[in-house]
Amino acid sequence: MSDIIRLLPDSVANQIAAGEVIQRPASVIKELVENAVDAGAKHIDVLVTDAGKTSIQVIDDGKGMSETDARLAFERHATSKIREAADLFALRTMGFRGEALASIAAVAQVELRTCQEGEDLGTSLCIAGSKVESQETVACPKGSNFQVKNLFFNVPARRKFLKSNQTELSNILTEFERIALVNPEVSFTLHHNGTEMLNLPAIQLKLRIMGVFGKKINQELLSVEVDTTMIRISGFVGRPETSRKKGARQYFFVNGRYMRHPYFHKAVMDAYEQLVPTGEQVSYFLYFEVDPANIDVNIHPTKTEIKFENEQAIWQILSAAIKESLGKFNAVPSIDFDTEGMPDIPAFEHSPYSGVQMPKTNYNPEYNPFDATPSPSSYSRQDTRGWDKLYEGLEQVASPSSFAFPDENDYWTEQPVESSMGTLYAQTEESNAVETSSQHYQYKGRFILTSVKSGLMVIDQQRAHIRILYDRYLTQIASRQGASQGMLFPDIVQFSASEIPVLESIMEDLSYLGFELTDLGGGSYAINGVPAGIEGLRPTELVQNMVHTALEKGCKVKEEVQSMLALSLAKAASIVTGQVLSNEEMNNLVDSLLTSSSPNYTPDGKTALVVLKEDEIEKLFK
C-alpha cells in the first residue's frame, strides 16, 4: 500500500495560516501598525484605497530593517522577539510569533521599502503569493513603508466573502481606533481614497479619547486609578446617566494590547447594579498593567483573548476601583450653615407700608344653602325652585331594561387571516357597523381582548403596534415620501470615525423615513428633522441605535438595510407595555393591524395575535 501522508508546500501552508491571522483588510492594518509600534515609531501614516481591497499602505518612522532582516521578516516564524520558550512569559511587544508578514505575503502582493537610521541607502523588496519577485537597494527615508495590494488575489473564494466597502472601512477604523487609544504617545493619520479621516497628534490619554470619539465624551467620563502588588488599573468609566442600550464605548487593554474579556466586563457592570436601567451599557476605557508572567496572550490567533492567572482577585480589585470612582461622583458636599465671618443683615423695621391694615372679608353667618326660602341678607341666592323638572323623562332611560345590547352577528363578519399556523378568523367591520368600542377590553395594560364569531381574539398591543409602524415605515422608504417634522432647536449627535461610513451608507434611507441630518464636520451631525409621530422620543438615541444596529448586522443588501431601519424605528416608537389605551385607540389599533399583510406576527417573528376557539373556551368550564 502506498503512503498517503505528505508535507504541504510552503505556499499552501502559508495560505492556511493566513486564514487564521488575516481575515479581512482590517487584519492587515492591525498587524502592520502593531509592528510599527514595536519598531519604536513616533508617527504612523495609514493610506487605504477601496476599503483595503485595492491597496493598504503603512508608513512609519521606526528603526527600520537591514537587508537581511527585511528578507527574513517574510519567512514563517521568523521573529526578533523570542529566543527561547521562556521569553513567551516576558513579552511586552505586540507581535512575537513571526506569522503576520508571512501570512500577508501569502495572500497579497507586498512591496517593502525600509532603511535603518544612519544609513544612506535602504532595501526594496517585492513579494507576491510568498514568492520573492525582486530585491534591490534604493534610497528611502528612515523607517519602513509597507504597501499591500490586491488582498486575496490568489484566493478568490476568500475575496468573494469580503463585505461592502462601508463595512470593511468601518472594521479598519475600529482596529485603528483600538491601537490609537492605547498608544497616545504616537501620532497617527488615516486616509481613505485620498481623504483624511483621522489625524491624531501625540497627546495625553484623555485627549486622545476625545480625539477619537469627540469632545462631548469628556463630560461622560470618571477617572479610575488603583495600584496593587498584583495589578495596576487606570482609565475612565462612564457616568451612570450616560448609559445606553447600544453603542457604548467599551475597551479593555492589558500591557498595551486590546483584549476582550466577558468576565471583567461583568465586573464592571456589577459595579453599576441598580444605577443604570436593565439592559443598558456604559462606556469604559480601562488599562491593566500586570506582570507578563501572570497572563497568557498566546491562546488566540489574533491575541484578543487573554488568560489571567488571578482572575477572581482582579475581579474584586476592578469592581472596588469602579465603585470608589462612582462613590466620589455621587458624593454631594453638605450645606454649611456656619455664619461666622458673614456680615450681619439688619432687620427691616421701618416700612412705608407699616400703616396698611389687613383686608377683612364680609360674610353672612346666617346663610344656609338648604333653606327653602332665602333668609334676608345682603347676599341673595339664585332661585332654584323647579329643579326637579330638569330630570323629567329620565326615569325610563335609567331603567336597565331600556338598554338593548346588539347581537355581534348583526355587524361582524368573519374574514380569514392566513398564517403559518393555519387560518385564523379575524373581525372586520361592514359599512353599516355601529360603534364597536365596547367590544374591546384591555388586560393588564398589555393585551387587547375582542370577540369574534369563532371565539376570543387576544392581541399584544406593543407587538401589534410594531407591525403597524414597520409596514408604514417600509412604505415610506419605498415611496420616498416620509413625513418629516422640523425641529425648532436641532439636536447634535456625535459619531466616531468607525461609525461614519455606516451612517453614510444608510443616510438616504434615513431621509426617506423622515430624518434630516446635516454634516457639521468632525463626526458631528445636526438633526434638523425627525419622522412625524415620534414625539417623546430622543432623536439622538434613535439615530445612534439605528447606526449601531446596522453596524452589528452588517447588512449588504439594500432591502435588508431598509427592513432593519424600519424595524428599529418601529420598536422605538411603538407604545409600551402598560400604556392604558382608550376604546377609540384600541379600535384604531385593531383595525390597522387587521389590514396588515401579516397581522399574526411581528417582523422579527414574534406572535402578535392569537384566537382562542369557542369550543376550547367551553372545555375549560366543563
pLDDT, residue 59, reads 95
Round the average pLDDT of the chain to a whole number and report it.
Answer: 79
Is the predicted pLDDT of residue 572 greater than 60, yes or no?
yes
Amino acid identity, position 582: S
Cell 487584519 belongs to: 27
Q: Which stretch of DSSP H or E encloses residue 326?
A: helix 311-330
Alpha-carbon distance 422 to 416, whole Å? 10
pLDDT, residue 521, reads 82
Is the predicted pLDDT of residue 504 greater than 90, yes or no?
no
Torsion of CA 527, 532, 535, 541, to 10 degrees: -40
pLDDT digit string, tens, across residues 454-465: 788 888 999 999
pLDDT, residue 569, reads 83
Cell digits for 196?
Answer: 483624511
For residue 506, count other CB atoms closer than 10 A to its CB: 24
Alpha-carbon distance 236 to 232, whole Å? 13
Amino acid identity, position 569: L
Over residues 519-530, the mean pLDDT reads 87
* 3 state SS of 365: coil
pLDDT, residue 403, reads 39
Whether 163 contacts 554, CB under 8 Å: yes
- Provide the pLDDT confidence category of residue 17 given band limits of 50, 70 and 90: low
pLDDT, residue 426, reads 40
pLDDT digit string, tens, across residues 107-161: 899 999 999 988 889 999 999 988 889 999 999 999 999 999 999 988 888 888 8
Instruction: Report which of 303, 232, 287 is spatially closest to residue 88, judged by C-alpha positions.
Output: 303
* 3 state SS of 130: coil
583 or 133, higher pLDDT: 133
DSSP-derived pairing of the beta strands 609-613 and 455-460: antiparallel
One-letter-per-residue 3-state SS of 244-312? ECCCCCEEEEECCEEEECHHHHHHHHHHCCCCCCCCCECCEEEEEECCHHHEECCCCCCCCECEECCHH
pLDDT, residue 406, reads 40
- Provide the pLDDT confidence category of residue 278 given band limits of 50, 70 and 90: confident
346 or 427, higher pLDDT: 346
- Provide the pLDDT confidence category of residue 85 given band limits of 50, 70 and 90: low
Whether 530 contacts 484, CB under 8 Å: yes
Whether 95 contacts 79, CB under 8 Å: yes
| Candidate from 60-74, 343-357, 570-584 with smallest mean pLDDT | 343-357
Torsion of CA 154, 160, 163, 166, to 10 degrees: 70
Is the predicted pLDDT of residue 250 greater than 90, yes or no?
yes
For residue 469, count other CB atoms closer than 10 A to its CB: 24
Whether 102 contacts 74, CB under 8 Å: yes
Instruction: Report which of 303, 269, 245 is spatially closest to residue 94, judged by C-alpha positions.
Output: 303
One-letter-per-residue 3-state SS of 550-596? HHHHCCCCHHHHHHHHHHHHHHHHCCCCCCCCCHHHHHHHHHHHHCC
Is the predicted pLDDT of residue 89 greater than 80, yes or no?
no
pLDDT, residue 570, reads 86
99 or 193, higher pLDDT: 193
For residue 552, count other CB atoms closer than 10 A to its CB: 12
Torsion of CA 80, 85, 88, 89, to 10 degrees: -140
Cell 392569537 belongs to: 610
Q: Which stretch of DSSP H or E encloses residue 541?
A: helix 539-553
pLDDT, residue 234, reads 95
Is the predicted pLDDT of residue 388 greater than 90, yes or no?
no
pLDDT, residue 621, reads 85
Instruction: Report which of 259, 304, 311 is spatially closest to residue 286, judged by C-alpha positions.
Output: 259
| Candidate from 375-379, 490-494, 547-551 with smallest mean pLDDT | 375-379
Amino acid identity, position 391: Y
331 or 504, higher pLDDT: 504
Cell digits for 236?
Answer: 475612565
Paired with 281 in beta bridges are: 244
* Burial classification of residue 5, based on how many CB atoms lie within 10 Å of its CB (0-12 exposed, 13-18 middle, 19 or more buried): exposed
- Provide the pLDDT confidence category of residue 199 given band limits of 50, 70 and 90: very high
- Provide the pLDDT confidence category of residue 416 given band limits of 50, 70 and 90: very low
Is the predicted pLDDT of residue 404 greater than 70, yes or no?
no
Amino acid identity, position 562: Q
pLDDT digit string, tens, across residues 204-246: 999 999 999 988 888 889 999 999 999 999 999 999 988 888 8
- Provide the pLDDT confidence category of residue 398 given band limits of 50, 70 and 90: very low
pLDDT, residue 345, reads 52
pLDDT, residue 412, reads 38
The residues near 68 (Cβ < 8 Å, ≥ 6 apart) are none
pLDDT, residue 428, reads 38
100 or 54, higher pLDDT: 54
Instruction: Report which of 280, 27, 277, 289 is spatially closest to residue 176, judged by C-alpha positions.
Output: 27
pLDDT, residue 508, reads 84
The residues near 288 (Cβ < 8 Å, ≥ 6 apart) are 231, 232, 233, 252, 253, 254, 255, 314
